[in-house]
């Protein structure tokens, strides 16, 4: 579960009800297999190498979609550990009040997230299918519970692009149908969520990787 889902979900006026099936039919097709990596332009590649995120988005006053790409100076294993720390989202991710896994079946994690933005509070229930060996995790709504959006899909794609120095490409995308809302609200939250969607992962993963590398160097000096 990511910040893009967080921000867009806050737009819904429906009240989520635990254990009540989602009232809306599926409008978005869930991902089947590893999503194709976004093809970047030379200018976008240059931005990534400079440390900036690249994002593309589209939105209307009823729906929004987008993808963000970031290079992170940490191994893929640590980045996965960071993303899967749902219990820490309330401390790490903007607008998240609570986040927890309420069910786990095989490689599927069922995640509940409580969100707040301005005066709006909402809840989102998703099924997150983890395929680490294929380098991705995708999500869709848990239709056994009522979420405060009409429909939702998305994914994380994690791929190491360099070993020395260690660099991992992190790509995250989401698409959501929220109903009819003013354009400026959807536009603002789409831009905000894409900007922050990979940045919090970059900040936490690089911080932890730097700490581990410092400990490793210190241990070598003591030997």
- 115-169: pLDDT as tens digits: 887 777 778 899 999 999 999 999 999 999 998 888 889 999 999 999 999 999 9
Element (H, E) at 139: strand 136-141
- 5-40: pLDDT as tens digits: 444 444 444 444 457 889 888 999 999 999 999 999
Q: What pLDDT is attached to residue 8? A: 44
Strands in 165-214 per DSSP E? 166-177
User: In the CATH hierarchy, which top-level class contains the domain 3-222?
Assistant: alpha beta
- 67-98: pLDDT as tens digits: 999 999 999 999 999 999 999 999 998 888 99
For 222, left (φ over 0), alpha (ψ -120 to 50), or beta?
A: alpha
Tell me the C-alpha to C-alpha distance, in Å, between residue 36 and each of 44, 152, 156, 158, 196: 17, 18, 11, 12, 22
- 178-209: pLDDT as tens digits: 766 555 555 655 566 676 778 999 999 999 99
Q: How many CB atoms lie within 10 A of CB 114?
A: 17
* Distance in angstroms (rounded) separating the CA atoms of residues 140 and 31: 8
Q: How many CB atoms lie within 10 A of CB 1?
A: 27
Tokens (6 digits) for 109? 């994690």
Q: How many CB atoms lie within 10 A of CB 201?
A: 25
CB-based contact 25:192 (threshold 8 Å)? no
Strands in the chain per DSSP E? 54-59, 63-72, 96-105, 108-117, 120-131, 136-141, 151-163, 166-177
Tell me the pTM. 0.84
| Residues 96, 79, 215: CA angle, nearest 5 degrees | 110
Tokens (6 digits) for 25? 């039919």
Q: How many CB atoms lie within 10 A of CB 164?
A: 5
CB-based contact 180:149 (threshold 8 Å)? no
* Distance in angstroms (rounded) separating the CA atoms of residues 82 and 92: 10
Highest mean pLDDT among 48-57, 89-98, 101-110, 211-220: 101-110
Domain boundaries, the chain: 3-222
């Amino acid at each position: 579960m990511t910040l893009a889902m967080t921000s867009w979900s806050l737009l819904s006026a429906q009240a989520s009800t635990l254990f009540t099936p989602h009232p809306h039919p599926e409008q978005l097709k869930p991902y089947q297999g590893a999503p194709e990596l976004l093809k970047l332009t030379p200018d976008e590649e240059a931005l990534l190498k400079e440390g900036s995120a690249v994002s593309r988005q589209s939105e209307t006053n009823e729906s929004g979609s987008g993808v963000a790409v970031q290079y992170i100076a940490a191994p893929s294993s640590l980045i996965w550990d960071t993303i899967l720390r749902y219990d820490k989202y309330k401390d790490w991710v903007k607008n998240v009040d609570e986040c927890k896994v309420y069910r786990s079946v095989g490689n599927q994690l069922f995640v509940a997230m409580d969100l707040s933005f301005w005066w709006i509070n909402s809840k989102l229930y998703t099924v997150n299918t983890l395929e680490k060996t294929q380098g991705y995790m995708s999500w869709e709504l848990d239709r056994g519970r009522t979420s405060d959006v009409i429909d939702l899909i998305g994914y994380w794609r994690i791929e190491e692009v360099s070993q020395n120095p260690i660099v991992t490409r992190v790509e995250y995308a989401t698409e959501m149908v929220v109903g009819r809302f003013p354009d400026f609200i959807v536009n603002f939250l789409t831009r905000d969520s894409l900007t922050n969607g990979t940045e919090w992962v970059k900040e936490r993963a690089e911080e932890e990787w730097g700490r581990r590398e410092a400990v490793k160097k210190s241990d070598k000096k003591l030997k």
